[in-house]
Chain A
Amino acid sequence: MSERKRTFKYFTIMEYEEEQEYLRSEHKRGWRFLDVIFPGIYTFERCEPEDVVYQLDYNKEGRKYMAEYTQMFRDSGWEHICDFVGYSYFRKAVSEMKEEEEIFNDDSSKLDMLRRVFYGRMVPLLVIFVLIICPQLYVQLSFGTIVGISCFLMYAALLLIYLIVFIKCALKYHDLKKKVR
């Protein structure tokens, strides 16, 4: 068995482009991506350094028909690697491409993917998050004790962080939407 390594990297749900670049640069350094598990532990295997493009797709419809979904990608030369938090990971060597390729060929379908991520995951997560955190904020504040206030501040900070991530994602989605329509 080849030498393996594990790294910890945290990418938010909308940072799939950064994640794609990370996996590509690792492969260029001789590390082939194998698997990723919660909360962001990536496993790599030693290999010949090669320029390989990594692409992430978010498609719940695809997940319903996994064999057919991966077959479509295989037909176009994309190898399916694994799945994680709703995303499917694919790769294709640059040497097998005529010119730099992605799994989307127009902005419209890229926007569709973003929309699926945004409404399929980000919005529901925010709703759940708010529904859990807000009562906590109220309860902790109503205690009026030092512990209560600190808990309140901690929950408030968590909510703020999540809101910031959400807003960044919403902006990214909005920018691409303006570019396409």
Chain B
Amino acid sequence: MDAHIKKVYVPMTETGFYILLCLREERHGYSITRKVEEMTDGEIVIKPGTMYGSLSKMEKDGLIHFVREEEKRRIYHITELGTEVLELEKKRIERLYRNVKENWL
């Protein structure tokens, strides 16, 4: 993995993580926003400026790719590189959770 990719995406922002997670399925920006809102019980609502900016950036960095357009909405899907990055983040979160449970609760 590129050093640049590691520097920018490891660790990831919570928003970035949820976007990549949702893009394991083909989705457009607003569909991601609705899914994340549902997944987090309304705690995280991704706004359009953040969403469009993040999607463009991830596409440029090769973490997601454009699939097709439907009714003026661009649909994206995660790439192999994106899956790799997501795996790294998943391991980091699992380790965090494990340590919290063992040393606190």
Question: What class of interface size applies to chain B in its complex with A?
Answer: 20 to 34
Tier of interface size on chain A:
20 to 34
Point out the residues of chain B lying under 8 angstroms from A69, CB to CB: 52
Query: CB distance B47 to A101 under 8 Å?
Result: yes
Q: In the bound complex, what is the Cα–Cα distance between A106 and B44 (angstroms)?
A: 10
Smallest CB separation, A17 vs chain B (Å):
13
Known pairs A65-B74, A72-B73, A76-B33; A113 contacts B56 (CB<8 A) = no
| Residues in A whose Cβ lies below 8 Å from that of B33 | 75-76
Q: How far is the CA of A55 from the CA of B53 in the complex (A)?
A: 15
The proximity string for A residues 61-77 relative to B, scoring 1 for CB distances below 8 Å and 0 otherwise, is 11001011101110110
From B15, B16, B45, B52, give the contact of A72 (CB < 8 A).
B52
Q: Say yes or no: A78-B53 contact (C-beta < 8 A), given A71-B72, A105-B15, A106-B13.
A: no
Number of A-B pairs, beta carbon distance below 8 Å = 74
Q: Please, which residues of chain B bring their CB within 8 A of the CB of A75?
A: 29-30, 33, 48, 73
Chain B residues positioned under 8 Å from A61 (CB to CB): 52, 56
Closest to B46 in A: A105
B74 touches A113 (CB 8 A): no
Kindly state the separation between the CA atoms of A104 and B13 in the bound complex, as whole angstroms: 13
**B50 CB contact (under 8 Å) in A71, A78, A105:** A105
Q: Which residues of A contact B57 (CB under 8 A)?
A: 112
Which A residues are within 8 Å of any B CB, using their own CB? Answer: 55, 57, 59, 61-62, 65, 67-69, 71-73, 75-76, 78, 101-106, 108-109, 112-113
Chain B contact residues, CB within 8 Å of chain A: 13-16, 29-30, 33, 44-54, 56-57, 69, 71-74
